[in-house]
Amino acid sequence: MKLLFVADPLEHFKTYKDTSFAMMREAARRGHQLWACECADLAWQRGSRVSARGARQIRLTGQDSGQDAWFEVLQTADLALADSDAVVMRKDPPFDSEYFYATHLLGQAEREGAQVFNKPAALRDHPEKLAILEFPEFIAPTLVTRSAEAIRSFHAEHRDIILKPLDGMGGMGIFRVGPDGLNLGSICETLNRDGAQSVMVQRYLPEIVAGDKRVLLIAGQPVPFSLARIPQGSEIRGNLAVGGKGVAQPLTPRERQIALAIGPTLAARGLLLVGLDVIGDCMTEINVTSPTCFQEISQQTGFDVAAMFIDALQTAAGAGARP
């Protein structure tokens, strides 16, 4: 297959942990052709098709370190997305205006015959924090509001709460307010900007000390291991980006229940790869833009997550194992 990865600059990949790199490595092992571009390279002109201007066909060198030593460029060309067998959208958050526009260009490419994973419309329809609202039976007490008064009432009821912006990533902008309510007013002002910006508020889950679990769904089926991202020191956030320790663990019965309940629904909408965040018995986020943790799980358990993903990609693209 000819695979086009829409991603951040290849030179910025941390190959020892990067999930997109793990996908590329497994695809290359099977003989698939690798191309890469950035969202800024996507373009459309009347009378033509959506193309990746200056897309690079790459070969992996086998050197998994160094800014650009891990790949070499075989050729550079304008590549119509519909001329690839599959487009893998792996641009990291944030989901800003440019990301939004990129999904529309990818949607046009679909109309021209391209196969895009995850499906662009599904990326737009599943904002990673708000997507959990569809499945209230699996989440903690949660409030989404612009109202500082509503936040204060929620705190009065639950006493220990977490506040976070809807557009945050990697643990950015997350605050905990305990029973004393210390700094609640200041935090509300910071996050909701005097009512101009919506905030998500959730009851604090003490099970976070055992880890914020990343549960991966591939084609609606759960990877049998999660990655528990465990907060370190006095930190309340388990995100790897802020120093959390990643420990792979078999799925608990509750994690498997959540995954099997919602996985087929999400897969049917064109979400080939999903990352659920679970703390204790509660799902806290549904990540669809660029879910990670392939390498950490594989290195610690021996389960080849990238192979499971490429199997699913080949099937979804209708190409089987064709090189």
Is residue 170 situated within a structural domain?
A: yes
Which residues constitute the domain of residue 72? 2-120+312-316
- Do 18 and 85 lie in a common domain? yes
Contacts of 37 (CB under 8 A, 6+ apart): 4, 5, 6, 7, 52, 53, 54, 55, 56, 79
Of 26, 38, 255, 277, catalytic: 277
The mean pLDDT values, 10 residues at a time, for the chain of 323 residues are: 97 95 98 98 98 98 77 98 98 92 98 98 95 98 96 98 86 90 94 92 95 97 96 75 87 98 98 98 96 97 98 85 37
- Do 40 and 103 lie in a common domain? yes
Of 56, 164, 203, 213, catalytic: 164
Is residue 199 situated within a structural domain?
A: yes
| Block residue for tokens 């703390």 | 279
Asked about 17 being catalytic, the answer comes back as no
Q: What pLDDT does 118 receive? A: 98
**140 with 282: CB under 8 angstroms?**
yes
Of 25, 90, 119, 229, catalytic: 229
Of 56, 90, 203, 214, catalytic: 214
Asked about 164 being catalytic, the answer comes back as yes
- Do 216 and 192 lie in a common domain? no
Asked about 160 being catalytic, the answer comes back as no
**120 with 89: CB under 8 angstroms?**
yes
Asked about 129 being catalytic, the answer comes back as yes
Is residue 306 situated within a structural domain?
A: no
Q: Which CATH number do you get for residue 168? A: 3.30.1490.20
List the one residue out of 11, 61, 51, 32 whose CA is nearest residue 306.
32
- Do 166 and 242 lie in a common domain? no
Of 119, 192, 237, 255, catalytic: 237
Asked about 146 being catalytic, the answer comes back as no
- Do 165 and 270 lie in a common domain? no
By CB atoms closer than 10 A (0-12, 13-18, 19+), residue 144 is: middle
Q: Running DSSP on this structure, what letter comes out for residue 83?
A: G
Global confidence as pTM: 0.93
- Do 235 and 283 lie in a common domain? yes
Q: Which CATH number do you get for residue 110? A: 3.40.50.20
- Do 165 and 244 lie in a common domain? no
Is residue 296 situated within a structural domain?
A: no
For the chain, how many structural domains are there in total? 3
- Do 110 and 162 lie in a common domain? no
